[in-house]
Amino acid sequence: MTQLHVEGEVRSPRAFGFAELRALSDQIGDVSRLIPGREGSAIRLQAVLEQVGPKETARYITLESTDGKFSASVPLEAVQEGIIAYRFNDAALPENKGGPYRFFIPNVAECHVGEVDACANVKFLGRICLSHEKGRDVRPTSPQAHEEHHHKPGHEHLD
């Protein structure tokens, strides 16, 4: 089963599966209460980070898809409220919802408005890496690039 790897500038890098995330406290039973229109249950990013112990040097968080094709890197401080959706009806979050692990930033700006935007809501999340310098970021940077991005096969907006 796919696992979520959390590594980089942390004291105890480790991987989490459904059961490990389910066992943490700070569960969010209904994602739609934080992010209207989105379904499923989630765990707070902070609860996951507590397990690995970020080092003081960590300033950026890079969120990478399992296939390695998509990656966003944003200041750690800006995503304190971030959540990882991983559960739907007590089973793994399905792929059509960005599962098995999907990052969401509540109340985030629209695409291309500021450094942290909805483009950083990484689907099919496979790796979280903390670092001192900004990491790999392939988010589209212009409205045109964004338009093209969403016309690539397999990158349509999800339900």
Ligand X SMILES: Nc1nc2c(c(=O)[nH]1)N[C@H]1C(S)=C(S)[C@@H](COP(=O)(O)O)O[C@H]1N2
Nearer to ligand X by Cβ, of 65 and 131: the residue is 65
Contact with ligand X (CB under 6 A) among 33, 55, 132, 155: 155
- Does residue 111 touch ligand X according to CB under 6 A? yes
Nearer to Mo ion by Cβ, of 66 and 121: the residue is 121
- Does residue 158 touch ligand X according to CB under 6 A? yes
Dist CA 89 CA 78 (whole Å)? 30
Residue 83, strand partner residues: 44, 104
Nearer to Mo ion by Cβ, of 76 and 119: the residue is 119
Three-state DSSP state, 5: strand
Tokens standing for residue 67: 């296939």
What is the DSSP secondary structure assignment for residue 97, as one 8-state letter? Answer: G
Which H helix or E strand runs over 21?
A: helix 18-22
- Does residue 84 touch ligand X according to CB under 6 A? no
- Asked if 14 contacts 52 with a C-beta cutoff of 8 angstroms, the reply is yes
Considering only residues 36-75, where is the footprint of Mo ion by CB under 5 A?
Answer: none
- Does residue 118 touch ligand X according to CB under 6 A? yes
Nearer to Mo ion by Cβ, of 29 and 154: the residue is 154
- Asked if 92 contacts 18 with a C-beta cutoff of 8 angstroms, the reply is yes
Dist CA 17 CA 86 (whole Å)? 9
Considering only residues 92-121, where is the footprint of Mo ion by CB under 5 A?
Answer: 111, 119
- Does residue 116 touch ligand X according to CB under 6 A? no
What residues line the site for ligand X (CB under 6 A)?
65, 70, 111, 118-119, 121-124, 139-140, 149, 155, 157-158
